[in-house]
Chain A
Amino acid sequence: MKTAALPGTGLTRGRDKMPGGSDAGDEAAMLNYVARRLVLALITCAAISVLTFVIIRLPPGDFVDAYIANLAVGGSTVSAEQAAAMRREYGLDRPVVVQYGLWMGKVLTGDFGVSMMWKRPVTEVIGDRLWLTMAVSFAALLLTWVIALPIGIYSAARQYSVGDYIATTLGFIGLAIPNFLLALILMYLGFRYLGLSVGGLFTPEYAQAPWSWGKLGDLMVHLPLPAMVLALAGTAQLIRIMRANLLDELRKPYVVTARAKGISELRAVLKYPVRAALNPFASSSAYLFPYLVSGSIVVSLVLGLPTVGPLLLQALVAQDMFLAGTIVLLLGVLTVIGTLISDLLLMWIEPRIRLQGRA
């Protein structure tokens, strides 16, 4: 079974079991699986919060030092007592673990701190960007599935055809060119030969406007290009995986059985071997979402998208740690949620997990 970098969702072949297991038992097994994924998601979020906290505290000095330095640039100064008072208020004089606790407490109530650069609450500064990042990443995910699945199936069923070669070539392009490079090349080509600025998610009139159906439509029109750039690498990989696995499955006896029943070739292929090849396909896309979110950061920098990427870079360069940290934290958490959703989708596909609660 060929999978890409993929974890053991560890699906084992169903072992023989006496038939007629209780329905209640099956339900319990399924709930068990869901519960485990949820717990894992929570643990991951906790780990992310710890890592984020580490990142926030990594730069030398603490928040107050940076604040003082920032003020100094503007010309104002802070007295030693004021500095000490601020430190006490932010709990910077307490042990690190306590600081973490304090910070987490604030985060869980929605208080993410203040951005030094903008001197406004972090949530205001981030604004829509986080949702736009998710929109682009999710669009890329959908695009990946919608494109990779049919092309992969076609590629295997009609091996060595023209369509197969085109798909394979596309696969190589997606494999070879890192997404930011692809974005760069596309921007250059668009600019040089079409004279337009290929980038951004909105036309200027909508960019600053409040949300409306018109703005949503504008977003939909602009999403495909960045989503495609982002999705290409993953699509290429998934096509290869689907193709390889389907080719394997097509040689197996149950496909002959299906054909021997006299059903149409299309039905025989889609219902049986594709179904079997969907398993590694779904496994391989389990960690696609974090990859896409990650990639969107760099791609949005190149394409100038109003997402979280450019903001994060700015924040890091300026050592605006609360802003940077919050972005990393929220990105991480939203990614975990997205991954959980795709996990549950996998569960829906594979009856053996459902029946035996195995993951």
Chain B
Amino acid sequence: MPQTPMVEPAHHALSVRDLVVDFVQDTGAVRALDGVSLDLHAGRVLGVVGESGCGKSVTARAILRLIDRPGRIASGRVLLDPDTPEQQDLAALDPEGKAMRAVRGGRIGLIFQEPMTALSVHYTVGNQIIEAMRAHSDISKAEARQRVVALLHEVGIPRPETRIDAYPFQLSGGLRQRVGIALALAADPQILIADEPTTALDVTTQAQILALLRRLQRTKGVALMLITHDMGVIAQMADDVAVMYLGRMVEFAPVAQLFSAPQHPYTRALLRSVPNLRATPRERLATIGGAVPHPGARPVGCPFHPRCPEIIKGRCETQAPPEIPPGERGASCFHVTGATMSAHAEATA
């Protein structure tokens, strides 16, 4: 598993602290994110993994202030360039204002899951990428066009001089996703958020796209937040992993440790449920019992307790386990709390 050796402290690019996102409807408010904290560092890949509905995409959208009504950020901070004089709290900015727009695409790029629907079919690929480029720098259309051709080449699109004038529906799925990546990179952002970039692709194309992302991330030194539900992709790409469940981060660890010594019962269950090539034939596939509850019907206490095989009766149903201190390895579980968490608490006392 690839891991960038930490030679120097990587530049701290983004810091999310206690982000809470609600969706307010007539029937009441549904809490999609229940206090999420994470960090992105230049040159490193943060993998965010979890089942559908755990809030991975909402986190990405919230960071870029792309959540539509009736969703809103209830509290929390999203700090760009944390601990520097230019620090900005994106959560506090006007979502349609100039400052936020400069961040979108200019500082943080977003790669989408569905290349079929993420690009407008009414305009050529070139038109859409040039627009992204020119929104953040004052260059002429001709100059932009040249740069876009180079960019298309960089993301591995053959004959970019011709393809730049193609419409999205004239390209295959893999090519479209490369265009999506080019689009996200158009204005040279230092942070990339990839929201399930390979889910809609076949396995071969998936491998190619992941390799491309890896290469780009290394060459440009961007901070990559890779959202996926596929543990294989995590293993292949991530440096650090955040496991999410029902709007909360339940475990955070460097990738090697996550796979070798998972601490949270949910993580363990996820890893168990990955089909194993070397498993005994006809052995029953492991699954996690039950289903992810609707965020509106959040269980009291630990959100995972109704499905947890290691539940501590009497405690997990009533108390919520403490959150993982930001930036540290840990899991939000009473089994873990005893050892690691209280040690931390003592250390900072």
Contacts and interface: CB of A to CB of B under 8 A. Distances in A.
Interface centre among B105, B114, B169 (most CB of A within 10 A): B169
A293 to B, nearest CB: 31
Given A261-B135, A263-B135, A254 B119 contact: yes
Contact of A262 (B117, B135, B162, B167): B135
A260 B66 contact: yes
B8 interface: no
Nearest to B189: A262
Interface in A257-304: 257-265, 271-272, 275-276
B103 interface: yes
A7 interface: no
Interface string B117-153: 1111111000000011001100000000000000000
Contacts of A272: 120, 122
Contacts of A254: 117-120
A262 B106 contact: yes
Q: Say which size band chain A's interface belongs to.
A: 20 to 34
A262 B187 contact: yes
A323 to B, nearest CB: 49
Contacts of A124: none
A19 B105 contact: no
Contacts of A18: 170
Contacts of A192: none
A15 B136 CA distance: 33
Contacts of A13: 121, 169
A14 B136 contact: no
Interface string B31-49: 0000000000000000000
A58 B123 CA distance: 54
Interface centre among A254, A258, A272, A355 (most CB of B within 10 A): A254
A253 interface: yes
Given A253-B114, A260-B110, A276-B122, A16 B66 contact: no
Given A253-B118, A254-B119, A275-B122, A261 B167 contact: no
A258 B186 CA distance: 13
Given A14-B121, A275-B122, A256 B66 contact: yes
B135 A19 contact: no
Given A253-B114, A253-B118, A276-B122, A260 B167 contact: no
A310 to B, nearest CB: 45
A190 interface: no
A19 B170 contact: yes
Given A13-B169, A16-B169, A257 B103 contact: no
B142 to A, nearest CB: 20
Nearest to B121: A14
A258 B187 CA distance: 13
B204 interface: no
B101 interface: yes
A276 to B, nearest CB: 7
B117 A14 contact: no
Contacts of B162: 19-20
B73 to A, nearest CB: 16
Given A262-B105, A262-B187, A265-B96, A257 B118 contact: yes
A17 interface: yes
Interface centre among B114, B131, B163 (most CB of A within 10 A): B131
A261 B132 contact: yes
A260 to B, nearest CB: 4
B123 to A, nearest CB: 8
B122 A261 contact: no
Interface centre among B114, B163, B170, B184 (most CB of A within 10 A): B170
A16 B170 contact: yes
Interface centre among A15, A16, A251, A259 (most CB of B within 10 A): A259
Interface string B100-117: 011111100110101001
Contacts of A276: 120-122
A252 interface: yes
A253 B180 CA distance: 12
B120 A355 contact: no
A253 B176 CA distance: 14
A257 to B, nearest CB: 5
B183 A264 contact: no
B172 interface: yes
Contacts of A259: 66, 104
A252 B117 contact: yes
A352 interface: yes
Given A19-B163, A262-B135, A264-B101, A14 B66 contact: no
Interface in B220-252: none
Nearest to B122: A275
A217 interface: no
A351 interface: yes
Given A256-B110, A351-B167, A355-B167, 17 more contacts: A14-B169, A14-B170, A15-B169, A19-B163, A19-B170, A20-B162, A254-B117, A254-B118, A257-B118, A260-B64, A260-B104, A260-B105, A260-B184, A261-B186, A262-B106, A263-B131, A271-B123
27 contacts: A13-B169, A14-B169, A16-B172, A17-B169, A18-B170, A257-B118, A257-B119, A259-B66, A260-B64, A260-B105, A260-B109, A260-B110, A261-B132, A261-B135, A262-B105, A262-B135, A263-B101, A263-B135, A264-B101, A265-B96, A271-B123, A272-B120, A275-B120, A276-B121, A351-B167, A352-B169, A355-B167
Interface of A: 13-21, 251-254, 256-265, 271-272, 275-276, 351-352, 355
